[in-house]
Chain A
């Protein structure tokens, strides 16, 4: 079965600075990978996804993520954060051979300071 780890529970970043959120997964083959964002009181919104192909994936709101098979990672990046990026971010893993069993990480809370 697949699993996912987000090592950082909480990150504080200054507005305008770059942001990188870490995600490591465990799965025997290439999984489906997702990043979601959740604002307070809201549902989860998909930022980007990786199924196959180009390992650098562009998403909405200026986010991108890179799939690195050798490191079992799918880190999320943004070059310059905005105050509106303050939210909780979830990495998720889906297994092509056990579809439906998406695993979500514990989430990383991002605080943006002026």
Chain B
């Protein structure tokens, strides 16, 4: 079975450019998470969706970041304009949530972003 698929795997861009990261969750999973990983801050939850609806975006750093989930099989994380401090590995993860019990997170391989 296909796991969580992220693209691009690597992105190098210049400050001020728009960056769009993409994620396809595992089929049948109803929850999707975006994490950012840096050496300084470790793994940070940016936002998560349940049944395509954003539930908590309190981890989104600022208005330059936005995330959408137009359908159950696709999500995007957009940074506009990008800044060097946004350089990090961005992970997408999906899970199954049924009522009061959650399942584990399944992670994609990440998108490594470098903003020059």
Q: Which residues of A contact B (CB under 8 A)?
A: 32, 34, 36, 41-46, 49, 51, 90, 92, 94, 96, 99-102, 104-107
The 4 closest A-B pairs by CB, nearest first: A43-B107, A104-B43, A44-B107, A43-B109
B42 on the A face (CB < 8 A): yes
Distance between Cα atoms of A101 and B47 in the complex (Å): 10
Q: How many cross-chain pairs have Cβ atoms below 8 Å apart between A and B?
A: 50
State how many residues of chain B have any CB contact under 8 Å with chain A.
23
* Bound CA span A36–B50, Å: 22
Name the residue in B45, B56, B91, B105 with the highest tally of chain A Cβ atoms < 10 Å from its Cβ. B105
Q: At the interface, yes or no: B25 with Cβ under 8 Å from chain A?
A: no
Determine if A100 and B108 form an interchain contact, defined as CB atoms under 8 angstroms apart.
no
Closest CB-CB distance, A8 to chain B, in whole Å? 14
A102 in contact with B45 (CB, 8 Å): yes
The residue on B at minimum CB distance from A48 is B104
Q: How far, in whole Å, are A49 and B55 apart by their CA atoms in the complex?
A: 24
| Nearest chain A residue, comparing its CB with the CB of B50 | A100
Specify which of A34, A42, A100 is in contact with B31 (CB 8 Å cutoff): A100
Q: How far is the CB of A95 from chain B (nearest CB, A)?
A: 9
Residues from chain B with Cβ under 8 Å of A32 in the complex? 102
Instruction: Determine the distance from Cα of A47 to Cα of B29 in the docked complex, in whole angstroms.
Output: 19
Find A99's partner among B42, B91, B102, B108 (CB 8 Å cutoff).
B102
A100 and B91 within 8 A (CB):
no
User: Which residue of B42, B56, B100 contacts A101 across the interface (Cβ within 8 Å)?
Assistant: B56
The reply to whether B48 and A44 form a contact with Cβ atoms under 8 Å apart is no
Interface residues of B in 28-54 (CB under 8 A from A): 31, 33, 42-43, 45, 48, 50
A27 to chain B, nearest CB (A): 14
A114–B87 Cα distance when bound, in Å, is: 35
Q: Nearest CB to that of A96 among chain B residues?
A: B100
A44 with B91: CB separation less than 8 A: yes
